[in-house]
Amino acid sequence: MTARTSAQALADVASALVGEHEITGLLAQLVRDCAELLPADAAALLVRTGEGDFELLSATSHRAAELEVYQAQQAAGPCVDTVRTGRAVNAVGAAEIAERWDEVGRRIVEVGFRSVHAFPMHWRNHVIGGLNVFSTAEEGLSEESRLLGQNFADYATLAIVQPLGLDDDALAQRVTDALEGRVVIEQAKGALAYQLSLDMAEAYDELLRRSAVNGSHLLQTAQEVLREAQRR
């Protein structure tokens, strides 16, 4: 990782924020950049809805998405902890992960991850979600990487709360809008998996590839996949 590379990734997010941006695609790019630059093997965003439930917002892979959904279902895990406490969470080694989070921890270990880190998404007096980072390497993050992880969490927060000055109801609606975008992406993954005989992880990679090739937002690409599926 170089300072220029991480600076460029954050600059790209900042540039998107000051213009019109499609939140689903922006968050998908943000978690991909985060995983690549820390470095890590996967990253995901978990948010708290207006009703207080936890929901997956974005993930770099199907495996990471499943872990976030499981944390939401169990209301336990590193990302849930960072939302509840407002503090960063770090755990290294299979034993520590399993001991801290019981069933959730064992699930994290079973899929091959050996270190996990979570960063809170602060907005004024709220913690609206968390950024979860997973690695197969049994090693902690450097101080530089921890700061970068928190930067990505902060930018994810700004992507959701823009425009500034949202009240609580408007903020809850922005979270709902972002979650609805994720549902469309999941439906598109399912359509691609069926059409191309792919597993869900491969279908997500194909969706990302089409988005990059077409130069379109991820949500736009997903919507086009669904339109094509309906025409078949």
- Residue 97 inside a domain? The answer is yes
Please report, for the domain that includes residue 68, its CATH number.
3.30.450.40
71 and 23 both lie in a single domain: yes
119 and 211 both lie in a single domain: no
103 and 216 both lie in a single domain: no
Using CA atoms, how far apart are residues 54 and 46, in angstroms rounded to an integer?
7
112 and 84 both lie in a single domain: yes
**Residue that finishes a domain, picked among 165, 199, 221:** 165
- Residue 223 inside a domain? The answer is yes
**Residue 72 tokens, joined:** 């939401």
Min mean pLDDT across 3-12, 34-43, 127-136, 189-198 is at: 3-12
For residue 87, the model assigns a pLDDT of 96
**Residue that finishes a domain, picked among 132, 165, 198:** 165
E strand map for 87-206: 89-92, 115-123, 126-135
45 and 104 both lie in a single domain: yes
8 and 82 both lie in a single domain: yes
In terms of Cβ atoms closer than 10 Å to its own Cβ (0-12, 13-18, 19+), residue 218 is buried
Q: Is the pTM of this model over 0.85?
A: no
- Residue 175 inside a domain? The answer is no
Domain that holds residue 23: 3-165
83 and 40 both lie in a single domain: yes
For residue 12, the model assigns a pLDDT of 77
Using CA atoms, how far apart are residues 162 and 140, in angstroms rounded to an integer?
32
**Residue that finishes a domain, picked among 110, 138, 165:** 165
Provide the domain count of the chain. 2
**pLDDT band for position 232 (50/70/90)?**
confident
Q: What is the mean pLDDT of residues 28-35?
A: 89
pLDDT digits (tens, 9 = 90+) for 72-95: 999 999 999 999 999 999 999 999
151 and 191 both lie in a single domain: no
Using CA atoms, how far apart are residues 88 and 14, in angstroms rounded to an integer?
23
- Residue 178 inside a domain? The answer is no
Please report, for the domain that includes residue 208, its CATH number.
1.10.10
**pLDDT band for position 123 (50/70/90)?**
confident
70 and 160 both lie in a single domain: yes
46 and 75 both lie in a single domain: yes
